[in-house]
C-alpha cells in the first residue's frame, strides 16, 4: 500500500507534513513540521498543536532518480528517452482519473507517471515557481 501523506501549504510556503496511519479499527492523522514521522503527533490528541494550512499536496508514492519524494506541486526535470524527449513540468493530480501526471511540451493531455526513474525534483511551485517560466522547452499547468 502506498504511504499516504501530504505537504502542508500556508501563505505559499511549506509549513509541515501530514501523515495518515491505519490499523484495524482506527485512522490516525499526525502532523509534523519536518518530513519525519518520528516527530509527528496525533492531531486528534493535541488540538492546539495542529499546523494551520491553506492547502495540502499529496505524496505520489514515488521517489525521483535521486531518492527524493515526489509531491503534487513539485517541479521536475525529466528526460524520457526515445519517446517524449525532456523538459521541466509541474506534477499535478488528475482528479478524473485519480492519477498523478505532468504535461509534456508539444504533447496533448496529461502523461501519467508510474515510475520516476527519469525524473529529478528541482523545486516546487511555492519556492521555485520561476523554474516554470514560459520557454520553448518548459511547460506549466494552471
Q: What is the pLDDT of residues 123-137, one digit of tens each?
A: 999 988 888 875 444
Instruction: Specify the higher pLDDT residue, 36 or 48.
Output: 36
- Asked whether residue 121 carries a pLDDT value surpassing 70, the answer given is yes
Domains of the chain: 5-53 (no CATH), 60-132 (2.30.30.290)
What's residue 141's pLDDT?
43
- Asked whether residue 56 carries a pLDDT value surpassing 90, the answer given is yes
Cα dihedral: 41, 44, 45, 46 (round 10): 70
- Asked whether residue 13 carries a pLDDT value surpassing 50, the answer given is yes
Amino acid at each position: 500500500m502506498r504511504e499516504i501523506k501530504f505537504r502542508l501549504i500556508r501563505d505559499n510556503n511549506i509549513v509541515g507534513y501530514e501523515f495518515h496511519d491505519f490499523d484495524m479499527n482506527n485512522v490516525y492523522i499526525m502532523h509534523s513540521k519536518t518530513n519525519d514521522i518520528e516527530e509527528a503527533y496525533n492531531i486528534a490528541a493535541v488540538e492546539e498543536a495542529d499546523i494551520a494550512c491553506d492547502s495540502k499536496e499529496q505524496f505520489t508514492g514515488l521517489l525521483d532518480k535521486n531518492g527524493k519524494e515526489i509531491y503534487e506541486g513539485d517541479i521536475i526535470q525529466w528526460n524520457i528517452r526515445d519517446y517524449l524527449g525532456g523538459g521541466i513540468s509541474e506534477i499535478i493530480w488528475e482528479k478524473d482519473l485519480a492519477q498523478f501526471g505532468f504535461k509534456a511540451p508539444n504533447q496533448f493531455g496529461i502523461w501519467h507517471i508510474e515510475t520516476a526513474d527519469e525524473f529529478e525534483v528541482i523545486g516546487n511551485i511555492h519556492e521555485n515557481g520561476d523554474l516554470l517560466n514560459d520557454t520553448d522547452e518548459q511547460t506549466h499547468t494552471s
